[in-house]
Amino acid sequence: MRWPLDEPKLERVRALMAEDELDALVVRAPDNVLYLTNFWGMKGYDACVFPRDGEPVLICLEASAEDAERTAWTGDVRFVRGYDEHDPRPPLARTLDAVVEAARGRGRIGLELSLGTQASDRMVGEPTTFTRAWFDAFPGAEDATPTLARARSLKTEQELARLRIANEIAADAMTHVRARLEPGMRESEVAAMWQARVHGHGTAREDVELALPFSLVWSGEGIKTFTATADLPVVEGEPVLFEIWVCADGYWADHTKNLVVGELRPDYAELERRLLGVYESALAFIRPGASMPELDVLVRDRLAFEPTHPICHGVGARAHEPPYPHQAGTGAFEEGMVLAVEPGIYWEGGGGLRVEDNFLVTAGGVEKLSTFPDGVVRC
């Protein structure tokens, strides 16, 4: 699907570039290429030169020409060959040549010098990584990662629309599984059912080209942080926890949902009551101007133990992106941020609960983006 040019987003990026005295951004992470050009590459061999003034340049594989024509915002698209009989180097070497040429004379360059994580390309199974040659090609470049993080932390109306789509797909798949979950099903079987619904019905939507599912599913005593989905059976009265992500054309939803067949066991019901109390207090705390470090303190103090995972992070063109509220950090929440809030309580030896949904920070608090209920949902 071709989304119209998101001018408010790109104007914000250019304003932040001016503040940071950057004349051009050179990006290669698939999520940053998507963010600046609306092109979501197949194999991570793509890049963008985004000037503060003038037309951006998208560099992509020849094999992706149709995708670029259909989706990319920039009119200046330069192609590289995946295989070139006259050039035995790997394709990223040709991408780098094209990027160096497109960035020539652009002034002060910003690179992704401190990128901690990146989203995958559409093939996802074998993410590409940065080589030393990529950084050596731009001696004296500045770190553009903080600039991009600030830009991406506030969402435009178009980005919100795309995030809502991902949230809708995730909720639909949970509703699908809820109607079919039975005792004796294996964790891996349940995960496959959820993933099939996302990929099949999400991709079939008229407003989506490709919906990809990612999941960790644990049953009862298998609930931990973090272990792989295994083959424990679904047990009546014990929760099945879904740590799930949906990527819809490069924009993500990140949820943790819980189902149970029959009545929830009393000790789990008490755990649910306690956890939802912490969750609701966290959501009530988040508002424009509220301290990010104080949210982390509030949640961890009320949980009375230290979860091994963050309890809040941004969501957008990555499932986990800035801001990352934590006690060692700084900053305040702002209107327009989209956050995953995810407190959890886990028992020693296995078992526990976590709740998580995505929320838009509004002038009056937060707005939940998913329709699927929180807590443990009865089947």
| DSSP H or E segment with residue 180 | none
Q: Which domains does the chain have, with CATH numbers?
A: 7-152 (3.40.350.10), 157-378 (3.90.230.10)
CA distance 132 to 252: 29
Report pTM.
0.97
The one-digit pLDDT tens for each residue of the chain (379 residues) are: 689 999 999 999 999 999 999 999 999 999 999 999 999 999 999 999 999 999 999 999 999 999 999 999 999 999 999 999 999 999 999 999 999 999 999 999 999 999 989 998 999 988 888 999 999 999 999 999 999 999 999 999 999 999 999 999 999 999 999 999 999 999 999 999 999 999 999 999 999 999 999 999 999 999 988 799 999 999 999 999 999 999 999 999 999 999 999 999 999 999 999 999 999 999 999 999 999 999 999 999 988 766 678 899 999 999 999 999 999 899 999 999 999 999 999 998 999 999 999 999 999 999 999 999 999 999 9
Q: Which whole-number Å values give the CA distances from 250 to 119, 213, 326, 369, in the listed order?
A: 8, 12, 26, 17
| DSSP H or E segment with residue 212 | strand 211-219
CA distance 109 to 24: 5
CA distance 34 to 48: 9
Q: List the 251-260 sheet strands across, edge first.
A: 211-219, 240-248, 251-260, 376-378
Radius of gyration of the chain (CA): 22
